[in-house]
Amino acid sequence: MPYQMRDQHGAARAVAYLMLAAGVYNIITGVLMKLGDPVAELVALGITSTAMLVVGLACLRHPEKMPDAFWLSVPFVSSCVVTGLNLATRDATTGAQLFYLWPLLYAASFLSRRVIAVTIAMISAGHASVAFQYLDGTRAMNDWLAITVAMAMTAIVVASLRERNDRLRDVLEQQATSDALTGAANRRAYDAELARVVAEAAAGGDPVALVTVDVDHFKEVNDTWGHAVGDQALQQVADTLTSAAAGHEHLVARLGGDEFAVLLRAGPAAALRYAEQARADLAAGTGLPSGPPRLSIGIAVLPDHAATADELQRAADAALYEAKAAGRGRSRLARGGPAPRQNVDRMPRPTPARSSSGPAA
């Protein structure tokens, strides 16, 4: 993508309000207040102002109908319009040049650094075409340099603040969706991802496997070796579940305590291989005084074992229970398939009850 659109809703509002305000402003100051000027100039300003109003209303009411290229072209078209209006009105004053701030701020707020640089160049060239035409050489040079430097510094400040806010937002989003101890996703992120991948799989996409994981006898680890060792064990489990999923689209989540869940874009056989690989990798690990953690794992796959997210979770939990009941430290794949859906139109009709009374005498 040649540019970065950060916030289309905010961009649409910015364009709409600017165009509506500019359209009204130009009709009043460029047409109504200059009725004695040449007709061609008044007509040109009137058409331009009307076009601004139309674009402003379109961005305000139906921004989704505007093509993607429109949002990229906004600062360039706006710079050209400001330059054209300044040339048409022969206005080289500082007040007229301040209108260049809008395309500059728009680019600095919503688009990439490359677009910001091009916008500054267009503003500089546009102002030069006005200043050197209507001002004397020395004054035009000073004015042009001042406007160019001011616009460049303004863009640098706004873009820097934007990038800083982006970094802070990314940190907050990560904190809101990850487990502080293990770095795995938390319940909130897991629920959102589960809904997304189930919807994709139900629509004909790749199957999704839900791998539910419990750390065997984790309470004994905490009671015997202390919570610090228990925390290290959980971190090792999360790291192993993540590394074993390499090559698959996946999400590893800690749902609470010693309970983990992995969403894996894979079928039953691949999901079972993943579970066994994760258990083997973890068993080969060293460094914990309690020894490597052992895992009990249950696996269910949509659409093989379930048709909805709730059914998928129930099937995976049932498989996990079987793994525990069989002695822990093993993996179990869910049995059977999704429960059939009843079609009311095809259900057998009840047989009419026979009368208990005999024939009349």
The secondary structure of the chain, three-state, reads CCCCCCCHHHHHHHHHHHHHHHHHHHHHHHHHHHCCCCHHHHHHHHHHHHHHHHHHHHHHHCHHHCCHHHHHHHHHHHHHHHHHHHHHHCCCCHHHHHHHHHHHHHHHHHCCHHHHHHHHHHHHHHHHHHHHHHCCHHHHHHHHHHHHHHHHHHHHHHHHHHHHHHHHHHHHHHHHHECCCCCCECHHHHHHHHHHHHHHHHCCCCCEEEEEEEECCHHHHHHHHCHHHHHHHHHHHHHHHHHHCCCCCEEEEEEECCEEEEEECCCHHHHHHHHHHHHHHHHCCCCCCCCCCCEEEEEEEECCCCCCHHHHHHHHHHHHHHHHHCCCCCEEECCCCCCCCCCHHHCCCCCCCCCCCCCCC
The per-residue pLDDT for 4 is: 59
C-alpha separations of 210 from 73, 306, 317, 321, 325 in Å: 45, 10, 10, 14, 19
The per-residue pLDDT for 5 is: 67
**Which two structure tokens, joined as six digits, stand for 186?**
């938390």
Opening angle at CA 162, ends 161 and 168, nearest 5: 90
> Where in the chain do CATH 3.30.70.270 domains reside?
187-333
pTM of the model: 0.60
361 residues of the chain, pLDDT tens digit each: 445 567 778 888 888 887 888 888 878 887 888 888 888 878 888 888 888 899 889 888 888 888 888 888 889 988 998 898 888 878 888 888 888 998 999 999 888 889 999 999 999 999 999 999 998 889 999 999 999 999 999 999 999 998 898 888 888 887 788 898 999 999 999 999 999 999 999 888 889 999 999 999 999 999 999 999 999 999 999 999 999 998 889 999 999 899 999 999 999 999 999 999 999 999 988 788 888 999 999 999 999 999 999 999 999 999 999 999 999 999 999 987 665 444 433 444 444 444 333 433 3
* Options 3.30.70.270, 3.90.1170.50, 3.30.70.580, 3.40.630.30; CATH of 187-333: 3.30.70.270
With CA atoms as reference, report the closest residue to 186 among 232, 252, 135, 110: 252
Q: How many Cα neighbours within 13 Å face the side chain of 21?
A: 8
The per-residue pLDDT for 157 is: 93
The per-residue pLDDT for 357 is: 39
